[in-house]
Amino acid sequence: MTDARERGDARRRVMVTGYGAVTPLGHSVDETWTAMLAGRSGIDTVNAIDVTGLGVLIGGQVRGFTPSRYMPPTVSRRADPYAQYALAAALEASEHAGLVIDDRLAPRVAVIIGSGYGPVGSIYRAANTLRDKGPRAISPFTQVTTAMDSAAGEISMRLGAQGPSRAQSTACASGADAVGAGMRMISHGEADIVLAGGADACVTTVDLAGSGNARALSRRNDDPTAACRPFDVHRDGFVMSEGAAVLVLEAAEVADRRGATALAELTGYGASSDAHHWTAPHPEGRGACLAVEAALRDAGITGPDVDYINAHGTGTLLNDAIETAVLHKVLGDRVTRIPVSSTKSMTGHMIGAAGAVELVASIQVLRTGDVPPTINCDEPIDPDINFVPHQTQHHKQIRTALSNSFGFGGHNAALVVRAV
């Protein structure tokens, strides 16, 4: 297989041929999508850790996950939950794509997994073991399991992908940036297939305490399913969540040769930095505008061409107001005539996994015309925008979708995907 530069091509088309997901709504794309369309929340009182003394007692947990369904004990014993979720999602994605990586294909298959927090559970456990039992009790696998690249490594070893394997960390934009990086690798001939996505498992005592103390999290402990309220006047913060999603990205001609079914075409990616503040977005949304405009420009379209937006929509006071202003600025009147929904209202904020899960949802919208709701949006902050409150809507002629991801540290990413 020759790369694009050897053939003289300027840029190759990038298709999505498979995807997998593990979320608080289910352990597959089908389960997650069905729950989204039903407007079902995956947010509840946290029971997997001790939340005694915390101000925030709620989160979006992956419940009932059985590692043995996806990996042998030798892997599950060493792998942090975030890597387990990523591996499970990658296996579903590769099966969905009918992808079998043989010796000829292997050097041209890459893996990029984004994560905002990485294997934090394993890091905390290792620190506690060192404190309580001393250095001889530390596992020789610790340096592997506590590394940010452990999810990508587990996937590449399991599937036999011999192309570049790496981690991507840009806070809440990590999953979207990983997909964007995978798109670039293919379009510029560095790989033929990329398994790209994001994963996080940060519903931990430390992370709930830290984000809670930063006043970033909702404190609706007495009503968990109503806690995440994107674009609602009465929103009071995001909900910490966990999960993973992985997509199989493939050069169009390679997918054709394999006989793979293209689910959608990934046409645009843009990224930027606010260069403003660690936790607050730029007050004028400059960085977010740059990312969205770059993604549209990369896709060769303008705002009026967008038919659906999966918003970042976290439910925080600043993010939702600024994102709304950004959409008005970039899309103009078009934003008042298309559906804009936040699936975080049901999943919570999966941090590094969020952008990848939301891209999967966006592709499902293109394929079905069904737009999942923004639940808990009782009193929209902008009544001129259709935030798809409460119930799924069916829309005809949704051909192009925009998915936004804006993170702490001023990281911004936007992806454009088109129906095929």
What is the CA 262 to chain-centroid distance, rounded?
20
Q: How many CB atoms lie within 10 A of CB 383?
A: 9
312 counts as catalytic: yes
Which is the catalytic residue, given 27, 282, 328, 349? 349
Residue 226 region by backbone torsions, left for phi larger than 0, else alpha for psi between -120 and 50, else beta:
alpha
Angle at 409 between CA 405 and CA 410, to 5 degrees: 55
> Which ranges constitute the DSSP H helices of 300-404?
317-331, 344-347, 354-368
Residues 109/97, Cβ–Cβ less than 8 Å: no
**Is the Cβ–Cβ distance between 345 and 242 less than 8 Å?**
no
Residue 250's Cβ-count burial label (10 Å; 0-12, 13-18, 19+) is: buried
Tell me how far apart the alpha carbons of residues 50 and 40 are, in angstroms, rounded to a whole number.
25
Euclidean distance between CA atoms 109 and 365, whole angstroms: 27
**Could you count the other beta carbons within 10 Å of the beta carbon of residue 17?**
24
Q: Is 172 a catalytic residue?
A: yes
Cα 324 from Cα 336, distance rounded (Å): 11
Residue 242 CA to residue 223 CA, distance in Å, equals 19
Mention every residue, 6+ apart, whose C-beta is less than 8 A from residue 55: 212, 213, 219
CA-based nearest residue to 331, from 233, 401, 275? 401
Cα–Cα distance for residue pair 270/303, rounded to 1 Å: 14
Which residue, 249, 387, 246, 420, is CA-closest to 320? 387
CA distance 358 to 406: 13
Q: Which of 27, 282, 312, 411 is catalytic?
A: 312
Based on the residue annotation, tell me whether 228 is a catalytic residue of this protein: no
Residues 6+ apart with CB under 8 A from 306: 296, 331, 334, 338, 400, 401, 402, 416
Q: How many Cβ atoms from other residues are within 10 Å of residue 188's Cβ?
A: 15
- Among candidate residues 27, 172, 228, 289, the one labeled active-site is 172
Active-site residue set: 172, 312, 349
